[in-house]
Structure 1
């Protein structure tokens, strides 16, 4: 057994968002849950995050561990801090991060014009820490998440000499971080890096491409998505690069934080329940119907949606099938935000179907829990889905997932076909291809199952008995880190 298998391991996680401090999507959930899960694997993970206003408000007992006189146009500090039960390095650079809006866009919805500098700074600081710049924390591995941290492996490569192992996780390959070539020297990248074997990507600086090229290991968030992104249909221009590196590409399913998503203790629910007490869900259903203005009908099949409103998520399919979905008195409870056209269409549907469609546009963590605890089925008709977390939460809460057979949705849901139902292993409903007809057929199957309440309850209990936590994924990440750290050590010794 090698030293890396025996001793504690230090890992620096580099992420642009982290729950419970700042969240726009599943990346934050993963970045926030993984450090806790890894503790049992003898892995200490520190997370490096930007000093957004929400982060600066959250930090506890912060200590300045490094200062920059000039970092992309202003002074900056690295704070060692704790927040939300996490150990953090916070990059306090007000000129880059102290601004309204989301982490990536202005309040009006436009990308911040200096996003290249904002996230190059995050990656450069990660490389500095990785190279031993902070004596109190020496990483064996730097784990970069998505394009916002994609330059970290590149900076470490061009630094030369001994360096930690590097892992890049792709949470969604649709977001790649491409910026003009003239920024190359301003981003402290060497002139020779602007090649196909460097950071160049279709005439731009490709942040994600750089990470995919230079990382020692590449992961994505489900085995099926790891295969899909190596195809022309799923790779979105990066499939060729990924195929050349297929030997280091793997898929590790996400989990959910089972302390946050636990129907037996959830403070957001009107009534808490467990696998043996499903009848209490009726109280949550009534509370959800009241909150969203739905008719107080305990027998109505309530379909839930907790999603970004986009074409990727297949919400246009839902709109097209809304008349048939709502037939027989079914209802729709939707929480989401995104495409303005989709928002407008769903808002209009509330007037067309009063008492049957209830929507909240925006982000509301409590309502997300209430939809999981009070709806009967959760719709996830995504055209592609790297992993998906809402279907995992749905199973945990006894809500039947109705999902497209893509990415992590295919890996996590066992379809209620005749054989699976007979064997007693089904946990949800899958459909393929992602077309209106196939989606409509899945909705019809859900309605048939709903009429057989005993079968419906068996699906609920199967889902609630499924391991959707971080124990197994954490073991796989720990194994990956140890292999990566050992390889990096051998290469530079």
Structure 2
């Protein structure tokens, strides 16, 4: 008799292509398909934000609660573009204007309640299942928004194994201890070894303490999180779990069925073996932004405009890049000061710098397809998907040597160019005494400009980059092995 596939309940605040604000959604949406051939079938529990039930179409109720932290709630099962979804329909928490986390640029004031509710429901389903008799063998919780799932299960005495994946430790779900009773958490466990976080409560810390295992999204980031520079006050918890062999870094991948220049409906098709149409995409991107044909490389930037993403470094380094013959196109939104600074740069170089504020998914595809370089000068980057999209589409990454950027981009040193292992340009390597600053970024851009002038060398590097492994196959196998260990 064939063994039934193992069941995973993935709990997250967003999931692509249904709703996306960042890389978390891409991972949550892509991992189930990668795990399915390995014997793991996933259901994704996420909030039914305003309009999502209408977006997915037909659904059926599989769970209900008359009082979920202040109002009635139900979980509705639906299928959407190959994903098996469980949508938490709690209008008092999620049917509201704004984004998943903010409205008019400010956090929803009850975010701690909203995502505690998501975690509570995840724990209930893990323990008791749904009315269609589906119950998971394991729960995979993502980031602080699902951080209380392991805690609720632990306090209930459940033996359902849990895995918590940290996508970005800078966001921790912090609230005051006066909310513990409201969120059905024990006040007796408010101490530094459990719920307390510098006098407050952190849902991410709670999950890190109570989960059966903890992962993060790249091996280098796992090492960085054990240091004060990157741990954001949780480095002690990270080090404790790592030293016990209970925390590892598993690199993210991308959905190569969606991110495939040969089949992408948003671009003129090309591939690593037939790259000729990339030049056509480049010309189209320049025309779309009204830019002149540059003598040097066309760089693209697709990012949140924040300090973490190194936007201030871009503002300082890009003028020299443009003066050296480069051009740049930026897509993003964020801090008003950075938006203004990029607007000033575009006004200063109207035929060499293009700017689009906001986010546009089809445009991002066109930018990777048309760009020669993709710039990712992040001060810290847990994994990063932008550089993986760049590799796939032949936009060579220029990255800070941190986190997953360090793990996925091989710097174009003379040695690596000679042996064929280079895939991009890196700066700020801490092992070589480097710093993530504008000077390092400018030097990396200068190296890219110089190599671009050697057309044969550039095309060889681009061909190698486009063949770099960026899919989920290796990482999904590691997750499947970890899942199997936990359910045993």
The two structures have a TM-score, normalised by structure 1, of: 0.95
Q: Residue 33 in 1 paired to residue 33 in 2?
A: no
Whole-angstrom distance in 2 between the partners of 1:144 and 1:414: 31
Counterpart position of 1:242: 238
The answer (yes or no) to whether the contact 2:324–2:449 under 8 Å persists in 1 is no
Q: What does residue 91 of structure 1 align with?
A: 88
Q: Residues of 1 paired with 2:257 and 2:337: CA distance?
A: 36
2-side partners of 1:259 and 1:341: how far apart? Answer: 37
Specify the alignment match of 1:156 in structure 2. Answer: 153
Q: Please give the per-residue CA displacement for 1:115-154, whole angstroms capped at 9, x wherever unaligned.
A: 0110000000000011123252111111110000001100
Find the counterpart in structure 1 of residue 275 from structure 2: 278
1:104 touches 1:111 (CA, 8 Å); kept in 2?
yes
Q: Determine the structure 1 residue equivalent to 2:53.
A: 56
TM-fit CA distance, 1:330 = 1.2
Displacement of 1:59: 2.1
Q: Are 1:58 and 1:84, in contact at CA under 8 Å, matched by a contact in 2?
A: no
Query: Per the alignment, in what secondary structure is the counterpart of residue 17 of structure 1?
Result: coil
Structure 1 stretches of at least 4 aligned residues deviating more than 4 Å after TM superposition? none
**CA distances 1:333-385 after superposition (whole Å, capped 9, x unpaired):** 11111111101110121111111110111110011001100010010001000
Aligned to 1:292: 289
1:131 counterpart SS class: helix
User: How far apart in 1 are the matches of 2:294 and 2:261?
Assistant: 20
**Aligned pair partner of 1:181 in 155, 177, 185:** 177
Determine if the alignment matches structure 1 residue 436 to structure 2 residue 433: no
- State whether residues 318 and 442 of structure 2, in contact with CA within 8 Å, keep that contact through their aligned partners in structure 1: no
- How far 1:329 sits from its partner (Å)? 2.7
Instruction: Quote the offset at 1:322 in angstroms.
Output: 2.0
Name the structure 2 match of 1:80.
77
CA contact (8 A) 2:166 2:215 kept: yes
Q: What does residue 323 of structure 2 align with?
A: 327
1:30: how far off? 0.1
CA distance in 2: counterparts of 1:237 and 1:293, whole angstroms: 46
Q: Deviations over 1:409-442 (max 9, x none)?
A: 0000111101100001211011112011111110
Q: Matches of 2:318 and 2:264 in 1, distance apart?
A: 31
The answer for the alignment partner of 1:22 in structure 2 is 19
C-alpha separation in 2, matches of 1:204 and 1:57 = 38
**Runs of 5+ unmatched residues, structure 1:** 487-493
Distance 1:276 1:164 in 2: 47
User: What is the CA distance between 1:163 and its match in structure 2?
Assistant: 2.5
Preserved CA contact (<8 Å) 1:431 1:438: yes
1:400 aligned residue: 396
Match for residue 455 of structure 1 among 440, 454, 457: 457
- Give the C-alpha shift of residue 250 in structure 1: 0.4
How far, CA to CA, are the matches of 1:193 and 1:137 in structure 2? Answer: 32
Deviates more, 1:279-288 or 1:441-450: 279-288
User: Which whole-Å CA distance do the structure 2 matches of 1:202 and 1:212 have between them?
Assistant: 15
338, 346, 355: which one pairs with 1:342? 338
Cα displacement (A) at 1:70: 1.1
Question: What corresponds to 2:386 in structure 1?
Answer: 390
SS at match of 1:134: coil
Among 458, 465, 468, the alignment partner of 2:467 is 465
Aligned residue pairs, count: 479
Distance 1:61 1:395 in 2: 38
Provide the residue aligned with 1:490 in structure 2: none
SS at match of 2:59: strand
1:363 matches 2:359: yes
Distance 1:473 1:163 in 2: 26
Give the Cα separation in 2 of the matches to 1:452 and 1:339. 37
Q: Is the 8 A contact 1:22 1:54 kept in 2?
A: no
Residue 301 of structure 1 deviates from its aligned partner by 1.4
> For residue 482 of structure 2, what is the aligned residue in structure 1?
480
Aligned to 1:233: 229
> Given that residues 144 and 169 in structure 1 are in contact (C-alpha distance below 8 angstroms), is that contact kept between their aligned partners in structure 2?
yes
Matched, 1:43 2:45: no
| 1:168 equivalent in structure 2 | 164
Per the TM alignment, residue 300 of structure 1 is displaced from its structure 2 partner at its CA by: 3.9
Structure 1 residue aligned with 2:307: 311
| CA distance 1:6–1:448, change in 2 (3 Å) | farther
| Residue correspondence of structure 1 range 182-261 to structure 2 within 5 A | 182-246=178-242, 247-261=245-259
Contact 1:178 1:207 in 2 (8 A): yes
Distance 1:291 1:412 in 2: 30
SS at match of 2:391: helix
Is 2:265 the partner of 1:267?
Answer: yes
2:78–2:85 Cα contact (<8 Å) kept: yes
Alpha-carbon deviation of 1:484? Answer: 1.1
Gaps of 5+ in 2: 429-434
Distance 2:14 2:415 in 1: 42
Is the 1:21–1:54 contact (alpha carbons within 8 Å) kept by the matching residues of 2? no
Q: Secondary structure at the match of 1:387?
A: coil
Once the 2 structures are TM-superposed, how far is the Cα of residue 54 of structure 1 from its aligned partner?
4.0
Partner Cα distance (2:381, 2:54) in 1: 33
